[in-house]
Chains A and B, each alone.
Chain A
Amino acid sequence: MKTGRTIPQAKRILSNRLMWAACLGATTIAVLVLSALLITIAIEGTGALSWSFLTSFASRKPAQAGIIAPLMGSIWVCAICAIVAIPVGIGTAIYLEEYARRSRIKSLIQLNISNLSGVPSIVYGILALVAFVRFFGIRSADDAWTFGNAESIFYLQIPFGPSVIAGGLTLALVVLPIMIISSQEALRSVPQSLRQAALALGSTQWQVVWHVTLPAALPTIMTGAILSMSRAIGEAAPLLVIGGFLLVFQTPANLMSDFTVLPLQIYNWAGRPQSDFHKIAAAAIIVQLVVLLAFNTIAIIIRQKLQRPLQS
Chain B
Amino acid sequence: MTSIAARTAAEISQRGRIRSAAFQGFFEGSIKATLIALTLLSVLTTVVIIAVLVEETIGFFTMADHPEISLWSFFTGTEWSPLLGAKPLFGVLPLISGTLLVTAIAGIFAMPVGLLTAVFLSEYASPRTRSILKSVLEVLAGVPTVVYGFFALTFITPYLLQPLSSSFGTYNAMGAGIAVGIMILPIVCSLSEDALRTVPQSLRDGAYALGATKFDVTAKVVIPAGLSGVVAAFLLALTRAIGETMIVALAAGGLAQLTVNPSQQVQTMTAYMVQIFLGDAPAAGVEYRSSYAVAFTLFLITFIMTWTGAIILKRYREEYE
A126: chain B residues within 8 A (beta carbon): 49, 52-53, 273, 292, 295
- A178 → chain B closest CB, angstroms: 12
Pick from A24, A173, A289: contact of B143, CB below 8 A.
Answer: A289
CB under 8 Å from chain A, chain B span 1-26: 13, 24
A270 in contact with B144 (CB, 8 Å): no
State A262–B144 Cα separation when bound (angstroms). Answer: 10
Tell me if B's interface is mostly helix, strand, loop or mixed: helix
Instruction: Encode B279-296 as 1/0 by CB contact (under 8 A) with A.
Output: 000000000000010010
Contact check, A241 vs B273: say whether CB atoms are below 8 A apart.
Answer: yes
Give the 5 A-B CB pairs with smallest separation, nearest first. A120-B243, A234-B144, A118-B306, A26-B116, A23-B120
Task: Please determine whether A1 and B49 come into contact, CB atoms closer than 8 angstroms.
Answer: no
In the complex formed, the residue of B with least CB distance to A244 is: B278
Q: Is the CB of B250 within 8 A of A91?
A: no
What residue in chain B is nearest A266 (Cβ atoms)? B146
> With a CB–CB cut-off of 8 A, which chain A residues contact B172?
none
Chain A residues 99 to 141 lying within 8 A of chain B, measured CB to CB, are: 99-100, 109, 111-127, 129-131
User: In the complex, are the beta carbons of B143 and A120 less than 8 A apart?
Assistant: no
- Chain A residues, Cβ within 8 Å of B35: 91-92, 94-95, 99
Partner of A112, one of B42, B56, B142, B244: B42
A19-B49 CB under 8 A given contacts A33-B182, A285-B150? no
Q: Is the CB–CB distance between A123 and B298 below 8 Å?
A: yes
Q: Write out the residue numbers on chain B whose beta carbons fall within 8 Å of the beta carbon of A22.
A: 116
Residues in A with CB closer than 8 Å to B305 are: 118
Q: Which residue on B lies nearest to A7, using beta carbons?
A: B216
Is B147 in contact with A237, judged by CB distance below 8 angstroms? no
Is B277 located at the chain interface by the 8 A CB criterion?
Answer: yes
B223 to chain A, nearest CB (A): 11
Check A146 for interface membership: any CB of B closer than 8 A: no
Neighbouring A residues of B243 by C-beta, 8 Å: 118-123
Query: Looking at the complex, which one of B140, B245, B278, B307 makes contact with A120 (CB distance below 8 Å)?
Result: B245
Q: A126-B295, A237-B270, A296-B138 are in contact. Are A263 and B144 (CB under 8 A)?
A: yes
Chain A residues lying within 8 Å of B13, measured Cβ to Cβ, are 207
A31 to B153, CA, bound (A): 20
Closest to A31 in B: B136
Q: Quick check: is B155 within 8 A (CB to CB) of the other chain?
A: yes
**In the complex, given contacts A115-B306, A204-B28, what are 6 additional A-B residue pairs having Cβ atoms less than 8 angstroms apart?**
A26-B117, A30-B133, A33-B140, A244-B277, A266-B147, A288-B144
Q: Which residues of A contact B250 (CB under 8 A)?
A: 267, 270-271
Minimum C-beta distance from A247 to chain B (A): 12
- Looking at the assembled complex, report how far the CB atom of B175 sits from the nearest CB atom of chain A, in whole angstroms: 13
Given contacts A23-B117, A37-B143, A126-B292, contact A131 B303 (CB under 8 A): no
Is A177's beta carbon under 8 Å from chain B? Answer: yes
Q: In the assembly, what is the distance between CA of A122 and CA of B39, in Å?
A: 23
Which listed residue, A40, A230, A288, touches B151 by the CB 8 Å rule? A40
Q: Which residue of B lies closest to A265 (CB)?
A: B146
A-B contact pairs, 5 of them (CB 8 A): A15-B215, A37-B155, A99-B32, A119-B49, A270-B154
Chain B residues closer than 8 Å to A180, beta-carbon distance: 42
A296 to B243, CA, bound (A): 25
Interchain CB contact under 8 A, A1 and B220: yes
Q: Mark B36-52, 1 if CB is under 8 A from A, else 0.
A: 10110111011011001
Given known A26-B113, A95-B35, A270-B153, contact A204–B299 (CB-CB < 8 A): no
Scoring A residues 43 to 76 as 1 if CB is less than 8 Å from chain B, else 0, what string do you get? Answer: 0100000000000000000000000000000000
Given A16-B214, A95-B36, A126-B53, verify A29-B48 contact (CB < 8 Å): no
Which residue of chain A lies nearest to B270 when distances are taken between CB atoms in the complex?
Answer: A122
How far does the Cβ of A77 sit from chain B's closest Cβ, in whole Å? 14
Q: A23-B117, A91-B34, A92-B35 are in contact. Are A230 and B42 (CB under 8 A)?
A: no
- The answer to whether A30 and B298 touch across the interface, beta carbons within 8 angstroms, is no
The answer on a CB contact under 8 Å between A123 and B295 is: yes
Return the contact of A23 from the options B119, B145, B302 (Cβ within 8 A): B119
